[in-house]
Structure 1
Amino acid sequence: MAADLTDLDALAAQATGPLAGVVVADLSRVLAGPYCTMMLADLGALVIKVESPRGDDTRTWVPPERDGEGTYFLSVNRNKHSIALDFSDEGDLALAHRIVRRADVLVENFKPGGLARFGLDYATLSAERADLVYASITGFGTAEGVDLPGYDLVAQAVSGLMDLTGQPDGEPTKVGVALVDVITGLHCLTGILAALHRRSATGLGDHLQVDLLSSALSGLVNQSAAAVMAGVTPSRMGNAHPSLYPYEPFPTADKDLIIAVGNDRQFVRLCELLEVPELATDERFATMGARNRHRDTLRPLLAARLAARGAMDWFDRFRAAGVPSAPILTVAEGVDFAADLGLEPVAVAGNGERRIPTVRHPVRFDSSEVDYHQAPPRLDADRDRVLRWLGAETH
């Protein structure tokens, strides 16, 4: 029997995900925090999204739109319940505190120190709730970077990510999505899960602090490691890879095809399919290091053979032989490709009249299913049910 969506306790009781029973007070907005809390909600947590009377900034970030609502907001706020509260209003602030008292986890991305005047900062709340898991997301920490605006583009710029993105003779370029925000949200999610595990053993909460710049540097993995470990300053290489070859787009008879050879065995198979097996034994190309040193010589030799067939023809042949390759698709084509592979990339969130197609949660469980019971909420849409959940009067 489906849960009564007007009764949050009944909804929480019927949740089957691995985080069923966990209550999250979501005081975050824009992307990193909301992405994190949506992942928690997908896994069964009851998430109360506390917004200002103006609403989350991303509600106004259009185009594109779906039925007058910004798809940016819709993309990271399913399975949540919205209540609009003005913390400068005594009654609304009291409601915020009541929500937090029922929560196991609080997620916020206010300017550092911004919640202290409302008594919603970690120091104040932890004195009352030693078991509270409190997650703070900032742009650049709480020390010398406290005044820097916490926007993804700023973090891409100062982390080196933009300097690595683009053509060697072109200008630095941002990644086509707010990737640092997403990475930060995932790091915050990891920290929350670790803190909940610790709390289950000790009964104690924790204060997690995650920032965009640290997350970006962690997400740069081998590139930031090159700077830290080897004193190397990585540079823009377009679609090429500093350590792997061939690992980039190649022209074919009709359009470019990605070839992503990760080891010498794959290179041997590639050469066999291209009918140039001698390249695999040539000392200039036989090992990954040698191929990297002689990539300018190898590329035209491979391109000459690839010109004999179209990209999809080669893709089918390489796929059958286990040679990593891929056509370059649009985002919409990528969704269709995932569907063709049986990954079911689209899930419909919501019940009744409000049903919105969303991108499916990326993790699957044998023991439970991710639930998509709640469409991304309209501003303050769940005020009455949240008030009933709190035992407060509705109005």
Structure 2
Amino acid sequence: MSHSMGAEDLQEIFGQPRTGPLAGVVVADLSRVLAGPYCTMLLADMGATVIKVESTAGDDARAWVPPHRDGESTFFLSVNRNKHSIALDFSDPEQLAVVERIIARADILVENFKPRGLVRYGLDYDSVSAWRPDLVYASITGFGTAGGADLPGYDLLAQALSGMMSLTGSQHGEPYRAGVALFDVITGLHAATGILGAFHERQSSGTGQHVELNLLTSALSGLVNQSAAYVSGGSVPTRMGNEHPSLYPYEPFPTRDKDLVIAVGNNGQFARLCRCLGAPGLAADERFSTVSARNANRVELRRLMIDRLATRDAGDWFERLKAVKVPCAPILGVDEGVRFAEDLGLHPVVLAGTGDREIPTVRHPVDFSRTPVDYTQAPPRLDGDRDKVMAWLRQAQPAARKAS
């Protein structure tokens, strides 16, 4: 049974009503930077009341500038909407007691401290589960709690150690990281999935559990076909630039003015591509008639395609190929990508917050037909919700407390 208050009581203290499927659920968010905050923002968007417990110095990401919006880090703003911030010094017994009171009212706890970093405060899973056995407690680390416990949990390290960087970049060039902290994001998604699974199971068992994740395991899972190439097939993937190891054509191609991505996944798409290029015979050519044949003869096929693509601009080819259902896309900047999503009616930008503090943010990726997500709270200022959190703690019904 939940130790949190009902949705109506939470609304009375924290403000506007929540509409999402997790309305009435309380999350104690002891995480910082990216993987944990991204996870808890997804839960918050879905209606959970997320209490972001920060150190008195604040989440490290608050200082990660440029870029910024009115002096606030856009990195921080990207993963912290719909949350309520309170800053507490865990080394101070009175303030630590406030952390314990927040946990006592929560349904879910998310933390990404270094392994065993919370033991000295009595906030590790073993300690907390002794007095909150029904709590879903999620821990995110960089490389697990065994041999990798001392490795710093940075996404760039996971990209390097997982093999991701060995796959990224030109064939004969240096390895590159992805242009975003990809495995932080994937780990955050995995965390949200695991938490919801454990929370669902709790409804029948009445008992919580420890949900553990690390960047490296998420990275290897996220490498999907590339990691499976080695694990299942004994083949070690290598850098191929923009090419795909199993499909061709599947990369950017130069046109008369700029590159256009063409991504052919089957023989039917390839036949339509050839007709559009004015070379229908290529689809029947034994060098290119099957997926395996196109892979084996990709150098010659690329040359033939480039000769034909050079006759028109990328925008013209995009419209022509799109019309015959050949997967393709121009290479856009982030600004153009947002505008393209707007043109498609996907409404990628939403305002988080109300009144004099509305922050443009990127919308939650899931649509719910009955219980839509909402964006009632702008990313919080450090300790900006102390009064509300303390009022919530005062009004909550008595609950189990940590043993002295």
TM-score, normalising length: structure 1: 0.97
1:36 and 2:39 equivalent?
yes
Within a 5 Å distance, the mapping from 1:184-223 to structure 2 comes to 184-223=187-226
Q: Which residue of 2 aligns with 1:322?
A: 325
In 1: Cα distance, 2:130 partner to 2:276 partner: 67
1:378 and 2:377 equivalent?
no
Question: Do 2:13 and 2:392's aligned partners in 1 also have CA atoms closer than 8 Å?
Answer: no
* Amino acid in the other structure paired with 1:309: R
Question: Do 1:112 and 1:142's aligned partners in 2 also have CA atoms closer than 8 Å?
Answer: yes
1:391 and 2:394 equivalent?
yes
Q: Which residue of 2 aligns with 1:339?
A: 342
- Listed one character per residue, the Cα deviations across residues 340-378 of structure 1 (whole Å, up to 9, x for unaligned) are 000000000000101000000010011122110000001
1:69 and 2:72 equivalent?
yes
Question: Do 1:12 and 1:20's aligned partners in 2 also have CA atoms closer than 8 Å?
Answer: no
- Corresponding residue to 2:299 among 296, 300, 321: 296
* Amino acid in the other structure paired with 1:95: V
SS in 2 for 1:123: helix
- Corresponding residue to 1:132 among 132, 135, 139: 135
What percent of counterpart residues are identical? 67
Deviation at residue 14 of structure 1 after TM alignment: 2.7
SS in 2 for 1:391: helix
Q: Aligned in 2, Cα 1:6/1:60: closer, same or farther, shift over 3 Å?
A: farther
In 2: Cα distance, 1:301 partner to 1:237 partner: 20
Question: Do 1:13 and 1:21's aligned partners in 2 also have CA atoms closer than 8 Å?
Answer: no
1:110 and 2:109 equivalent?
no
Question: Do 1:251 and 1:303's aligned partners in 2 also have CA atoms closer than 8 Å?
Answer: yes
In 2: Cα distance, 1:190 partner to 1:6 partner: 27
SS in 2 for 1:304: helix
Q: Which residue of 1 aligns with 2:281?
A: 278
Question: Do 1:8 and 1:385's aligned partners in 2 also have CA atoms closer than 8 Å?
Answer: no
Q: Aligned in 2, Cα 1:135/1:199: closer, same or farther, shift over 3 Å?
A: same
SS in 1 for 2:357: coil
Question: Do 2:166 and 2:238's aligned partners in 1 also have CA atoms closer than 8 Å?
Answer: yes
Deviation at residue 15 of structure 1 after TM alignment: 1.6
* Amino acid in the other structure paired with 1:100: I
Question: Do 1:103 and 1:132's aligned partners in 2 also have CA atoms closer than 8 Å?
Answer: yes
Question: Do 2:159 and 2:165's aligned partners in 1 also have CA atoms closer than 8 Å?
Answer: yes
1:306 and 2:309 equivalent?
yes
Q: Aligned in 2, Cα 1:377/1:149: closer, same or farther, shift over 3 Å?
A: same
Within a 5 Å distance, the mapping from 1:17-96 to structure 2 comes to 17-96=20-99
In 1: Cα distance, 2:229 partner to 2:94 partner: 53
Runs of 4 or more, structure 1, over 2 Å off, are 4-14
Question: Do 1:184 and 1:211's aligned partners in 2 also have CA atoms closer than 8 Å?
Answer: yes
Question: Do 2:85 and 2:380's aligned partners in 1 also have CA atoms closer than 8 Å?
Answer: yes
- Corresponding residue to 2:165 among 162, 165, 169: 162
Deviation at residue 124 of structure 1 after TM alignment: 1.0
- Listed one character per residue, the Cα deviations across residues 124-160 of structure 1 (whole Å, up to 9, x for unaligned) are 1111111100000000000010010100001100000
- Corresponding residue to 1:100 among 93, 99, 103: 103
* Amino acid in the other structure paired with 2:318: F
TM-score, normalising length: structure 2: 0.94
1:171 and 2:174 equivalent?
yes
In 1: Cα distance, 2:43 partner to 2:26 partner: 9
Deviation at residue 21 of structure 1 after TM alignment: 1.2
Question: Do 1:82 and 1:379's aligned partners in 2 also have CA atoms closer than 8 Å?
Answer: yes
* Amino acid in the other structure paired with 1:19: L
In 2: Cα distance, 1:15 partner to 1:21 partner: 8
Q: Give unpaired runs (5+ residues) of structure 2.
A: 1-6, 396-404
Within a 5 Å distance, the mapping from 1:234-253 to structure 2 comes to 234-253=237-256
Question: Do 1:12 and 1:46's aligned partners in 2 also have CA atoms closer than 8 Å?
Answer: no
How many residue pairs are counted as aligned between the two chains? Answer: 389
SS in 2 for 1:365: coil
- Listed one character per residue, the Cα deviations across residues 220-255 of structure 1 (whole Å, up to 9, x for unaligned) are 000000010111110000000000000000010100
SS in 2 for 1:381: coil
Deviation at residue 12 of structure 1 after TM alignment: 7.8
In 1: Cα distance, 2:318 partner to 2:52 partner: 45
Q: Aligned in 2, Cα 1:141/1:12: closer, same or farther, shift over 3 Å?
A: farther
Question: Do 2:139 and 2:211's aligned partners in 1 also have CA atoms closer than 8 Å?
Answer: yes
